[in-house]
Amino acid sequence: MEREFITIREKETAFRVQNTRINAVRTKDILKKGVRVYRDGKIGISGAVGDLPDDILIDSAVKNLSTNIEYPYKLSGDRKDHRNYNENPMTGEELLKHSEDILDVLRRDYPEFDFSERISAKEVRWTMTNTAGLDLEYRDAFISLGLILKEKKSANLFDGFLMYYGRSLDMDKFWAFNRDYLAAYNNPVPLPEADVLPVFTFEFGELIGFLAHCLNGERYAVGSSIFSGKLNEQLFNDKIVLKQNMDPIYRAEPFFDMEGTVLENDTYTLIDKGKLTGVFTDKRSADLYSLPHTGAASGGYDDIPSLQGAPIRFEVDSDDIKKTLDGKPALLVAVSSGGDFTADGSFAAPVQVGFLFDGERIIGRVPEFTMSSHLNRLLGDDYIGTFENKHLYLGEGLTLQGFYMKITK
């Protein structure tokens, strides 16, 4: 009988902010353990929050074998890979000092706003080991600043956000960007007069979610993806390269999937120069549908691994937004909540906070608007490019993506 162990340890110090002052300090120390056993092509699972002894968890997993859930796949093994993505994490005391400093400046220089919510520092350690020789460890530590911005004269619940996510915090860069951002916020400008405008986003969640749904290997194989049957077809603009990307630099999650698979260079290409070259799979779906295995098993620490979503990311394919725009006015989406794609690819979303953008700096805040398009246009003729984010100090690894979209006031 093979055995497999997953542990997740999370320690967090968080400062809760209300009315631009820290009003609470929270510490967390959470341990979660999962155990899997494999016998005669079956899998049994168990798990616990807290430090339950391994032998109790193993006994429980062995009992779970009676469910007769088949798992006839070769265990990932014979690999030791320990990685630490932040050797010098910020301490709680250092974060408190930075947080107090940031809030002091916001109270002093921006009295027209109220800031609330949370600044935190988190340390995580994941391990996945098994009796087949797998020994994986992912350690990381990151800072998350998410402050709701509210104009004191506004009756909205909130009017925007200050945000940052990364492994270190450079206060000079933070203020250089956020002073520009808050100045632009205080500079209302009209929407440029045009039905279609270049729109830039740094977190196009609806697009990533829609593509992840369509690139799921199981959906592809059974025919429910709009990409079904189109492998090796040119679907999109030939600049576009989209990969399953497990690199923790971009997402602060383990470099391995929940079956212990580690990809070469932590990536697997799904769309290459606009052509569909792959779909993501776990061991089961790869075997069942004769597809290449891409290491995309998901699930909780105490779940049987399964295929759900996968982290996908556009590769940078363009350089210098300002040059690309060549003086044309563009919009930058800061807050867009509630939009969606229809099943056939039509897209619409309200933009609650947007800015006029010249490719490097944000110039002024535009009124709320709705942007709309279709998947085939967004990633076809209306695709401008994916750019490295060189100017907006919002977080590590963020890219900026540009598309021409229909704008409705």
Partner 1 sequence: MYRFPEGLYVDVRIEETFETKISFKKTTLQQQKVRSNKGAFIRVFDGDRWYYSSITDISRVQESIDSLARMARPNPDINNHPIVKEFEVNIGTVLNFSERSVTDIPVEEKQALMESYLHLLDRPEIVHHTSYYVDNKTIKSIYSSKGTAVTFDKQTCGIRLNLDIACGESKDKGAVSKAAIYFDEMKDLYGFFTEQIEKSIQFVKEAEPVEPGIYPVLLGPEATGVFTHESFGHKSESDFMVGDETMKAEWALGKTIGQDLLTIIDDGTVLGNGYTPFDDEGTKGKKTYIIKNGKLTGRLHSTATSAALGEPLTGNARAVSFEFEPIVRMTTTYIEKGDRPLKDIIAEMDRGIFIDTVKHGSGMSTFTMAPARAYKIENGKITKPVKVSVVTGNVFETLAEVDAVSEEFELLSFVGGGCGKMEQFPLPVGFGGPYTRVKRLSVQ
The residues of the shown chain that bind partner 1, judged by CB under 8 A, are 16, 18-19, 22-32, 45, 47-51, 64, 67-70, 114, 117-118, 146, 148, 150, 152-159, 213, 218-219, 222-226, 302-304, 306, 335, 337-344, 346-350, 352, 368, 370, 372
Cβ proximity to partner 1: between 133 and 190 the closer is 190
Smallest separation (angstroms) from partner 1 to the CB of 52: 10
Pairing of strands 134-151, 79-84: parallel
Cβ proximity to partner 1: between 74 and 153 the closer is 153
- Nearest-angstrom CA–CA distance, 198 and 325: 8
**The residue to which tokens 């700096």 are assigned:** 361
Cβ proximity to partner 1: between 277 and 306 the closer is 306
Smallest separation (angstroms) from partner 1 to the CB of 286: 14
Contacts of 40 (CB under 8 A, 6+ apart): none
Give the Cβ contact number of residue 390 at 10 Å: 11
Smallest separation (angstroms) from partner 1 to the CB of 355: 16
103, 49 Cβ separation under 8 angstroms: no
Cβ proximity to partner 1: between 221 and 263 the closer is 221
Smallest separation (angstroms) from partner 1 to the CB of 81: 27
| C-alpha Rg value of the chain to the nearest Å | 23
Smallest separation (angstroms) from partner 1 to the CB of 394: 17
| Structure tokens belonging to residue 279 | 């779909």
Residue 290, CA atoms < 13 Å, CB-side half-sphere: 0
Cβ proximity to partner 1: between 27 and 265 the closer is 27
Cβ proximity to partner 1: between 304 and 398 the closer is 304
Smallest separation (angstroms) from partner 1 to the CB of 380: 18
**The residue to which tokens 């005669």 are assigned:** 40
- Nearest-angstrom CA–CA distance, 59 and 61: 5
Residue 214, CA atoms < 13 Å, CB-side half-sphere: 23
Overall residue count recorded for the chain in this entry: 409
Smallest separation (angstroms) from partner 1 to the CB of 228: 8
Q: Give 319-374 as a DSSP string.
A: --HHHHHTT--EEEEEE--S-EE-TTSEEEEEESEEEEE-SSSEEEEEPPEEEEEE
Smallest separation (angstroms) from partner 1 to the CB of 218: 7
DSSP, collapsed to helix, strand or coil, labels residue 106 as helix
384, 404 Cβ separation under 8 angstroms: yes
> Where are the alpha helices (H) located in 9-70, listed in sequence order?
54-64
Cβ proximity to partner 1: between 26 and 97 the closer is 26
Smallest separation (angstroms) from partner 1 to the CB of 48: 6
CA distances from 149 to 111, 199, 301, 336, 357 (A): 11, 23, 35, 15, 20
Residue 135 CB-density burial (10 A; 0-12 exposed, 13-18 middle, 19+ buried): middle
Smallest separation (angstroms) from partner 1 to the CB of 96: 11
DSSP, collapsed to helix, strand or coil, labels residue 138 as strand
Cβ proximity to partner 1: between 157 and 381 the closer is 157
**The residue to which tokens 């997402």 are assigned:** 251
Q: Which of 192, 208, 197, 193 is nearest to 373 (CA)?
A: 197
Cβ proximity to partner 1: between 133 and 367 the closer is 367
| Beta strands, E only, 85-155 | 113-130, 134-151
Cβ proximity to partner 1: between 8 and 263 the closer is 8
